[in-house]
Amino acid sequence: MDIIPTNDGSDSVFSNQYNASYHSKFGAIEESITIFISSGLYYNYLKGKRKLHIFEMGFGTGLNAFLTAIEAERLQIDIDYTAVELHPLPEELSIQLNYPKTLGFSDLFNRIHQSTWGETQKISEYFKLNKRHIGIEDMEHSTPYDLIYYDAFAPSTQADLWLDSVHVPLFHNLKDNGNLVTYCAQGKFKRMLKAIGYTLESLPGPSHKKEIIRATKTA
């Protein structure tokens, strides 16, 4: 794995194993804010939710968790955050990422990355984190989620993570009117989400990305 720059000045990581970048080359932070924070977290906050259980598929560099933790403190909303990652970044690599230099909150960033895998830990007053070092197919979903950040590698890279065998259990563990947000707007994937029972919205994406998807489990 190698740290690489993106166009908005924020770092990403390139996986030689999957021959893929963890984020858009046009901007890691921009991408994360547009897809997960604005279209997911803020969408729920503006609907009046002040306590959220968020599930993330693909902890990766921890950027989505970091941005979510920052917003939890700023908005003063309670967030329980569960993430699965089969291939965690080595700590010596993650601590080199420039996100705290760009966004501040270096103590928060370090607590997120230094937290113990497999244990729920209180990272800050409003943010609890449970990082799971397992594949999503081995995840036992228990507490219902309000919001899912689906941030796996693309279907062309990891096709097995975009199948109904993965997404049906997630759908069933999502609360009524809960949401899934993802960068993937592939036609086959959208048809599968609709078949499961989601209602879909196509939203404007970040730079050089025409659309992203917000899927809602309608009551």
Q: Please write the tens of the pLDDT for every residue from 8-44.
A: 999 999 999 889 999 999 999 999 999 999 999 999 9
Q: Which two tokens stand for residue 102?
A: 């760009």
User: For 60-87, how does the pLDDT look when each residue is reduced to its tens digit (9 = 90+)?
Assistant: 999 999 999 999 999 999 999 999 999 9
Query: What pLDDT shows up at residue 202?
Result: 97
Query: What pLDDT shows up at residue 142?
Result: 84
Query: What pLDDT shows up at residue 94?
Result: 94
Q: Which of 11, 39, 3 is nearest to 27 (CA)?
A: 11
Q: Which two tokens stand for residue 70?
A: 């920052």
Residue 214 in this model has a pLDDT that exceeds 80: yes
Q: What is the pTM of this model?
A: 0.97
- Binning pLDDT at 50, 70 and 90, where does residue 188 land? very high
